[in-house]
Structure 1
Amino acid sequence: MMAREFRHALGDMLDAIAGIERSVAGKTLADYQSDWLLKHAVQRAIEIISEASRALPDDVKELRPEIPWPQVRTIGNVLRHEYHGLSDRIIWGVVVDELPALKIAVAALNEKFKTH
Structure 2
Amino acid sequence: MMDEAVRIRLRDIRDNARRALDFLGDRAAEDLEADPLHAYAILHAVQIVGEAAGRVPAEVRDAAPSIAWRASVAMRNILVHDYSFVSKAILVDTVRGDFPALIEEVQRLLGEDQT
Q: TM-score, normalised by structure 2?
A: 0.88
* 1:111 equivalent in structure 2: 111
Partners of 2:90 and 2:83 in 1: CA distance: 11
How do 1:35-54 and structure 2 match up within 5 A? Answer: 35-54=35-54
Cα deviation, residue 53, structure 1: 0.9
Q: TM-score, normalised by structure 1?
A: 0.87
2:61 maps to a residue whose letter is K
Quick one: percent identity of the two aligned structures? 28
Alignment gaps of 5+ in structure 2:
none
Alignment coverage as a number of residue pairs: 112
1:31 matched to 2:36? The reply is: no
RMSD over aligned CA atoms reads: 1.6
Partners of 1:83 and 1:19 in 2: CA distance: 20
Alignment gaps of 5+ in structure 1:
none
1:111 maps to a residue whose letter is G
Q: Residue 48 of structure 2 contacts residue 76 of structure 2 at CA under 8 Å; is this kept in 1?
A: yes
How do 1:4-19 and structure 2 match up within 5 A? Answer: 4-19=4-19
Q: Residue 7 of structure 2 contacts residue 110 of structure 2 at CA under 8 Å; is this kept in 1?
A: yes
* 2:88 equivalent in structure 1: 88
Cα deviation, residue 57, structure 1: 0.9
Q: Aligned with 1:26: secondary structure?
A: coil
1:65 matched to 2:99? The reply is: no
Partners of 1:105 and 1:73 in 2: CA distance: 17
Partners of 2:8 and 2:14 in 1: CA distance: 10
Partners of 1:49 and 1:58 in 2: CA distance: 16
Cα deviation, residue 82, structure 1: 0.6
* 2:22 equivalent in structure 1: 22
